[in-house]
């Protein structure tokens, strides 16, 4: 599927029934409204293309945006690697995949990358822009109240932590990717300058979901800045319109 162009990406198969997604999301929203008595601001940090291989991820983004996204780094502590691209306003795009030469971590990898069968199924079904990450400076409070959604806060790299990231115990995507993973940069504002700038700018970010009202309520409670626009659809799926030097392009 490496050479598949965005406009030719096939429709994706049902991975969860809409009823199950709706019920689970509504129950979590009810818990939030009952127990969350103050707001923690979450802000869009980056979009994630979760790929079976890094080469496939880079090829897909190139076919969508016409941009060759440069290599970012190897995550020796997670057994993954990435490419990254600035999208303006301290937001960026990450293409992430399991590193075949990496060391297997002693815990579940982020972005559900241990479940390669699911990653491949999502990829072949067209769910390639698979999720997003929000940042906050109140990560401990968010996780303490709502670890059931986001998972545990993991300090990384383990030996000399510079940031913290939420990862569910099994490494799955929060609410099948409808909720973000969360990062705390621990006061570092210089990281964005290390990400390549190729003139791309995020124009819009949209989540298709079977129960948009419940997801919108969840986003509102967490006061998410620059959260995706949510529209009704039978499955969870993301689309981003990105301004590039050659015009407005869609990433899926």
Percent of the chain clearing pLDDT 70 (strictly above): 84
Is pLDDT of 56 > 70? yes
Is pLDDT of 201 > 90? yes
Q: Are 80 and 52 in contact (CB under 8 A)?
A: no
Is pLDDT of 3 > 90? no
Q: How far is CA 207 from CA 19, 61, 203, in A?
A: 17, 18, 14
Q: Which of 144, 148, 137 is nearest to 179 (CA)?
A: 148
Tokens of 176: 């099948």
At 90-135, the pLDDT tens digits run 999 999 999 999 999 999 999 999 999 999 999 999 999 999 999 9
Distance CA 76, CA 103 (A): 7
HEC profile for 95-125? EEEECCCCCCCCCCCHHHCCCHHHHHHHHHC
Is pLDDT of 34 > 90? no
Q: How far is CA 229 from CA 43, 177, 244, in A?
A: 14, 14, 21
b/e per residue, 190-207, with b = 16+ CB within 10 A? eebeebbeeebebeebbb
Is pLDDT of 39 > 60? no
Q: Are 61 and 94 in contact (CB under 8 A)?
A: no
pLDDT band per the 50, 70, 90 thresholds, residue 26:
low
The pTM of this model reads 0.85
The confidence score (pLDDT) of residue 70 equals 97
How many CB atoms are closer than 10 A to CB 151? 23
Range in 32-41, 140-149, 198-207 the model is least confident about: 32-41
DSSP 69: P
Is pLDDT of 36 > 60? no
The confidence score (pLDDT) of residue 37 equals 38
Pick the CATH number of 17-251 from 3.40.50.720, 3.40.50.10470, 3.10.180.10, 3.40.50.300: 3.10.180.10
Q: Are 100 and 74 in contact (CB under 8 A)?
A: no
Length of the chain: 252
């Amino acid at each position: 599927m490496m050479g598949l162009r965005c406009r030719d990406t096939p429709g994706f198969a049902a991975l969860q029934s809409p009823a199950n997604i709706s019920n689970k999301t509504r129950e979590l929203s009810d818990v939030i409204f009952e127990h969350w008595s103050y707001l923690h601001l979450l802000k869009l940090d980056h979009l994630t293309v979760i790929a079976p291989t890094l080469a496939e991820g880079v090829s897909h983004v190139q076919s969508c945006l016409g941009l060759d996204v440069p290599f970012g780094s190897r995550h020796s502590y997670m057994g993954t690697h990435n490419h990254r691209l600035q999208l303006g306003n301290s937001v960026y795009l990450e293409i992430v995949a399991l590193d075949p030469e990496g060391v297997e971590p002693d815990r579940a990898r982020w972005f559900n990358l241990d479940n390669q069968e699911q990653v491949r199924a999502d990829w072949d079904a067209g769910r390639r822009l698979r999720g997003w990450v929000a940042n906050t400076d109140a990560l401990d409070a968010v996780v303490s109240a709502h670890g059931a959604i986001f998972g545990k806060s993991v300090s990384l790299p383990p030996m000399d932590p510079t940031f913290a990231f939420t990862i569910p115990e099994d490494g799955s995507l929060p609410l099948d990717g409808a909720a973000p993973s969360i990062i705390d940069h621990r006061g570092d504002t210089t990281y964005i300058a290390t990400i390549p700038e190729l003139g791309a700018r995020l124009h819009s970010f949209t989540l298709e979901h079977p129960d948009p009202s419940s997801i919108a309520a969840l986003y509102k409670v967490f006061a998410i800045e620059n959260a995706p626009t949510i529209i009704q659809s039978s499955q969870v799926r993301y689309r981003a319109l990105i301004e590039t030097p050659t015009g407005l392009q869609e990433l899926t």
